[in-house]
Amino acid sequence: MVFNVTHITTYKYNAPVNYCHNIATLRPRNSDGQELLDYKIQINPKPAEITERVDFFGNYITRFSIQTQHDTLKVTTKSKIVRDYGAKYDSFFSDACKRVTMNDALYVLKGNDPAVIEAKQFILESIFIRKIDKSIKEYAERSFRGDRSVFDAAYELMQRIYTDFDFVSGFTSISTPIEEVMKEKKGVCQDFAQIAIACIRSVGLPARYVSGYIETLPPPGKEKLVGADASHAWFSIFIPGFGWVDFDPTNNQIPKNQHIVVGWGRDYYDVPPLKGVVYGSGKSKLKVSVDIARID
């Protein structure tokens, strides 16, 4: 499937900004079952300089600065992506994936196989998922048990988050601690992803945060998916001996072709779509719009 994704972020300032430095994680990375065919970024006003690099996790980071006075910043990206995730999706349900129990997983994680070493850092604390309290561990242990399949446990965790938590936008912000989300059982996609990640890490398994988009046009006769017209986020768990498997707790499904990956990291902190330091006075108003069009 081929998509055209248009992502527009607009900041309006109530007082002029003299200059700003920004970092964007907007260029979708190539990953299993996904290829970037074309990508353009447009920034208004025109940046004085712009560079792109690949970060620690393999994501594309765009850095730019604007040195002319402005009161609106508009960043538009247009990505053309081919997503063919069917085979990958099917592999999750294979025996090779499902047979790995938590005991197996923890045993393999003690080793120093390159893939395992790479994955193990996602067990450690991260900027936003720092203190993992008892309630999170208990919540996780209801699904994760030594003799149980990791895949099944993760699948169930996703289902439980979907059932137990309410999607309420505006209740949380990016600085809401996960303990509070856990307590209130309310939040948005990034909260649910981070809750799942905290749960998985609490039992000693690697989990990472995936940032991306979701196509919202509902196939005929089916319900419209939540997360419309905005960036989306979900989580991925490492099953030793098999690999990473993505889960979307907001929509209670394993991502297939409607999910488009932009980047991943330990949590939201590693892959914010756009951030920056602004020199000037006053406040800003943010508007984000995402449009995903299917070409074929």
Positions that interact with other proteins (CB under 8 A): 11, 18-19, 21-23, 48-49, 51, 53-57, 63, 65, 67, 112, 114, 117, 120-121, 124-125, 127, 130, 174-175, 269-270, 272, 274-281, 284, 286
Nearer to other proteins, 50 or 82 (CB): 50
Closer residue to other proteins (CB): 89 or 269: 269
Q: List CB contacts of 112: < 8 A, sequence separation 6 or more.
A: none
Least Å distance, CB 22 to other proteins, is 8
For other proteins, the closer CB: 31 or 176? 176
In the bound state with other proteins, the residue whose beta carbon lies nearer, of 21 and 256, is 21
Q: How many CB atoms lie within 10 A of CB 164?
A: 13
Distance in Å, CB of 280 to other proteins, minimum: 6
Name every residue whose Cβ is closer than 8 Å to that of residue 138 and which is 6 or more positions away in sequence. Answer: none
Rounded to a whole number of angstroms, the minimum distance from the CB of residue 119 to other proteins is: 10
236: nearest Cα among 113, 92, 35, 58: 92
Structure tokens at 295: 């070409």
**Concatenated DSSP letters of 236-268:** EEEETTTEEEEEBTTTTB---SSEEEEEEESSG
Of the pair 94, 281, the CB lying nearest other proteins is at: 281
Q: How far is the CB of 103 from other proteins (least distance, A)?
A: 16
Give residue 153's identity as a one-letter amino acid code: A
